[in-house]
Homo-oligomer: A and B are copies of this chain.
Amino acid sequence: MSTAERIVVIGGVAAGPKAAAKARRCNPRARITMVEKGRHVSYGGCGMPYLISGEVESADELMATPMGTLRTPEFFKKGKNIDVLIRHEATRIDRDAKQVEVKNLETGKTTALDYDKLVLAVGSTATKPDLPGADLKNVLGLACMEDAQTLVAALNSGKIKRAVCCGGGLVTLETVHGLVKRGVETAVVCRSDQILFRLDYEMGACARRELEKGGVAVYTGETLKAFIGKDGTVCAVETDKRRIEADMVLYAKGVKPNTKLAKEAGLAIGESGAIQVDECLRTSDPDIYAAGDCAETTHLVTGKHSYNPRGSTANKMGRVVGVNATGGSDTFPGVLGNLVLRVLNLQIGKVGLTEKEARAEGYDIETVIVPGFDKAHFYPDADRVILKLVADRKTGKLLGMQGAGHGEVVKRIDVATAMLTLGSDVYTLANLDLGYAPPFGSAMDPIITAANVMKNKLEGRAVGISPVEVKKKLDDGGDFVFLDVRNDDEYEEEHIPGTTLIPLGKLKERMGELPKDKEIIGFCAISLRAYAACLTLKANGFENVKFMDGGMAAWPYEREAKEG
């Protein structure tokens, strides 16, 4: 089946080793060479934050197979007959001669490797801070294994009491866990008005609450100005609003695809800024493939090419390239921008389009925010999850889901992933025969309840309004009744300022207190009782009634709580 005899793979972290190993399984006779700039190959880069927390005890664990064998160059040679050159950098591709120029970073010597098929798995580079003091000691990144080892060594020195994490994204927040666990006083600074900017505001607010409860200071909407040093080591971070003392700074504000080599070889770069590939992961040169963080992918909801670097995607792409580079035929249709992480003890994530993304893409959408339990509510360790669905208003097609909570959120995101991949609508989602037993779920899983609430909205049975919209009305001085239908003791425990309290059980007798000519926005703990209240009010001649999506559980703004 295979004709290619010489396969060169540039990049040895995720997509590269996967492509090489799969190519070997597809073609026992090919000569396969993998070139890696760094000292390590085939490691679980996504595990680095857990090295900081100590949950993973040594870097070796990230470089070992499940059986405990270290994935060294010798492992690849002996076990898979793949030649691995570490500390070698590919510096130029000669497409006519089908050669890659490779520089030995130890000796400085350059050689040329011949290829029949070339695989670019050159990854991405972390954005470097372009700020005064960026070169100070203990201003660190977390982009490769060496970074992780530097961070751990600094923390182990015992001198780090206070840290500032710059950026409100995935790597920062995953690492905060480790810092908090080690007793380091931690602050997060980011420029946008929320952390986890790629999620909607309410979801970012869930992560923020979790961090603040865990003692982490969160400064959003602040711009970094400088890193301040003392004797060559960082001692503070200066933003446009404050100075934060710090013995260490973690700077992790996103990555950029490594495209220099491809660009210089004249390969097409996509609009997303990453290397352009077709469904077979071929670049504009049919003998060159690209996979992993350096390549672009197709977003399966929008159909657009986009940049979604992820370790899981790199592995899948690597496998497809391994098949195709050896004469086989496989495709990688695309991704859904899936992003999940743990923020202290919170599970949070997204798949498909957020509300922000869907509106930016011009979709006419409906959204719901529905809290629920991850297990039967009577089961001892049942915990809350909040799900937010985004659907096309006309067709009911599911466009995306986000979730946050101390319960099992990622499980629901995975179900949404499957539904989105196949273009499902929320009607099908509502009747999904999910696994049910009290330790694993509810008779009506929260994702099913969310789909049902969406159905109610799409069919006009219920009119909801999102907390963000309600806040906007409040801020604009809107003339409406903000009706809390919870019980007196729930209200006393915690409430939203400026609300009117009429417990659902007393709504019928006290209905006269409400004006019929004003908009009424009801809510309760999760807005289930509020939905019932809306129906009662409607049945009694109130026309302009809505419930607030997700109730108190989804309210991302100020609350007044009982003291003590």
A82 to B541, CA, bound (A): 21
A64 to B437, CA, bound (A): 17
A28 and B433: CB pair below 8 A? no
A443 to B310, CA, bound (A): 9
Q: Say which size band chain A's interface belongs to.
A: 35 or more
Minimum CB distance partner of A423 in chain B = B422
- A97 contacts the other chain (Cβ, under 8 Å)? no
Given known A428-B421, A443-B46, A539-B29, contact A433–B311 (CB-CB < 8 A): no
A313 and B433: CB pair below 8 A? yes
Quick one: which of A487-516 are within 8 Å of B by CB?
504-505
Name which of A158-166, A241-249, A257-265, A314-322 contacts chain B. A314-322
Chain B residue numbers with a CB within 8 Å of A78 are: 505
Contact with B along A285-318 (1 / 0, CB 8 A): 0000000000000001000000000111111100
- A373 contacts the other chain (Cβ, under 8 Å)? yes
Chain B residue numbers with a CB within 8 Å of A313 are: 433
A504 to B85, CA, bound (A): 24
A315 to B29, CA, bound (A): 58
- A438 contacts the other chain (Cβ, under 8 Å)? yes
Given known A422-B424, A443-B14, A444-B316, contact A340–B436 (CB-CB < 8 A): yes
Given known A376-B44, A443-B314, contact A434–B461 (CB-CB < 8 A): no
Quick one: which of A435-470 are within 8 Å of B by CB?
435-445, 448, 452, 461
A433 to B64, CA, bound (A): 24
Quick one: which of A390-427 are within 8 Å of B by CB?
408, 410-411, 413-415, 417-419, 421-422, 424
Task: Offer 20 A-B interface pairs, CB within 8 angstroms, sorted by A.
Answer: A14-B443, A25-B532, A26-B461, A28-B538, A46-B438, A50-B378, A50-B438, A312-B434, A315-B443, A320-B431, A338-B433, A340-B435, A340-B437, A340-B440, A342-B439, A408-B411, A410-B441, A414-B434, A415-B417, A417-B434
